[in-house]
Structure formats: C-alpha cells, structure tokens
Amino acid sequence: MAKAIWKNVVIADSNDFEIVEDNYYFPPDSVNMEYLKESDYHTTCPWKGFASYYDIVVDGDVNKDSAWYYANPKPAASKIKNFIAFWKGVEIQD
C-alpha cells in the first residue's frame, strides 16, 4: 500500500499504483479530490505527453502545482492515464 501525505492529511491511498521515473501514480478513485484544485499550469514530457496540474489545499494552506496527471498520455505512458502523482513536499509512504 502507498499513501501520499501532505500536512498530516492522506491525499491518496492505494494498493493499485504505478511507479514511473521514481514517481508514484495513484488511480483517480484512490485520491481524496476534496483537497485538489485545478491549476492552470501545464508541462509536456517528450515520452508521456501533456500534463495538467492540481494545487493541494489543506486547511487553507496551498501547495501550488504539487500534483499532476496525464489525461491523454502518449502510448508509452498509457498505463498512467488519469493517474495522479505528487511532489513539492508531499510525502509518499510505501
């Protein structure tokens, strides 16, 4: 089981996750979406494709652009379609 934790709050919790480039990608149904707010930030990975981001908001504290996902990944990354990964101080416990 893996968990994504920020500010002592479990943001995601699942046995069904993918590890890509040392990042844990959680299926959308394992993520507590009440803590995520759509961001207007985007990046592009040469082999995964176009990434969209979320801010994490816990008790009014904002961790900007600290979660991301690929809604339409390139074929090589199809297994992480819509899965959500975290960084910027989000602790992953495995």
pLDDT at 68: 98
Residue range 2-93 forms a domain whose CATH class is mainly beta
* Letter string b/e over residues 27-60, b meaning 16 or more CB atoms within 10 A of that residue's CB: beebbeeebbeebeeeeeeeebbebbbbbbbeee
pTM recorded for the entire structure = 0.97
Convert the pLDDT of each residue in 60-87 to its tens digit.
Answer: 999 999 999 999 999 999 999 999 999 9
Convert the pLDDT of each residue in 16-67 to its tens digit.
Answer: 999 999 999 999 999 999 999 999 999 999 999 999 999 999 999 999 999 9
